[in-house]
Structure 1
């Protein structure tokens, strides 16, 4: 076989006998292709193991007969503009999308793709939003808790257990506060992706309504272009007046 044909077959699902044959092939290009294949398979095993580790809390609750488990996360606590958005996601027991991880670890392209997969496969997804006015009235911490509770209430099912990233909310549903939960629980990872994508889409929409602040790219964070827009145009209804330096432009 040509080396190009061997590489193509290695990219498919080669048999063990085929791999054994390649080990005895004296060509340097074949051995390099084989080593590349071994490295790729090792990365895949490590990714699979990491995903199974992120399902440990889910399996623990599912094994106790708790079938409806919701992971909850939020995004948007730090920006100067836009809402804080929370998502609650209930995953099916056979969920096996190993790339689902903390949204901060994913590229924009990968996150967008996973967002669609999660929406398609999840048992239920709920979104909660606290806008700039609520953030100014309540403070960002309490507004985040409100958005998280709203996300749970907007689920199409009533969960039996919650796993929440580093927070607690006012509900009678049992909840596990999990520090860095978006990296430890697949359900919270999925919620982090949904919340991030939902908010990014919303900020791109706001960019069309309030041009001049570069919301489509900075999603409300205080970048140079955003601050330049504030200086030139002043504040918008989606700016958080209680946040510095927005308060200077009131």
Structure 2
């Protein structure tokens, strides 16, 4: 028998005993192009929109609808990014953590505690925090953050695709799909590509 599907709840937030608990998640570690984006969300336990789940489990329409509901009902929310230049300078993990810190720092009111998706805490946090492995499937606040970050980053990639046609970013969001890899070979590297990522670096090396 298949294991029961885990659905996010509010138990991790409640266990802190605090009111202003932020869930934090990032989107965009794997793409070859575009920024990495993070969101931080403090949910109001009395006004949590129904249907919040890990963004990867939701349709685009559901994510869009839930993102609007989260923005309307949350105590606080913020979205932040780390640029392609920062990704290439710092590495993708450190850039992801930078985006997470920026999102947390932008919350008003400020969070008292943070639940961070993953198994490593960003350095330099100014509030107590804990990691939550598979947090977007376990914590409603982290799942809400995953939705906001995903919807925002997808919108950025659709916008970038208008000025950079042919790479399919409006569909693949910069991830290394077969079409994106083929376009890299045929059209070359744009300023929005991550030069330290192997498929991009390979093409740059072949050009010189």
Segments of structure 1 that go 5 or more residues without pairing to the other structure are 1-45
CA distance in 1, matches of 2:195, 2:10: 40
Correspondence 1:214-229 to 2 at 5 A: 214-229=168-183
* SS of 2:198 mapped into structure 1: coil
In the alignment, does 2:44 pair up with 1:89? no
Segments of structure 2 that go 5 or more residues without pairing to the other structure are none
Which residue is equivalent to 1:175?
A: 129
- Structure 1: 4+ residue segments shifted above 3 A: none
Report Cα offsets for 1:103-133 as digits up to 9, x if no partner. 1111111111101111111111111211111
Instruction: For CA contacts below 8 A with separation 6 or more, give which structure has more relative contact order.
Output: 2
- Larger Rg over CA atoms: 1
Instruction: Return the structure number with greater helix share.
Output: 1
Which residue is equivalent to 1:55?
A: 10
CA distance in 1, matches of 2:104, 2:172: 28
CA distance in 1, matches of 2:176, 2:12: 36
Equivalent residues of 2:48, 2:73 under 8 A apart: no
**Post-superposition offset of 1:50:** 4.6
**Post-superposition offset of 1:244:** 1.4
Question: Match for 1:152 among 104, 115, 118?
Answer: 104
Question: Match for 2:64 among 100, 112, 120?
Answer: 112
CA distance in 2, matches of 1:129, 1:84: 6
Q: How high is the TM-score relative to the length of structure 2? A: 0.91
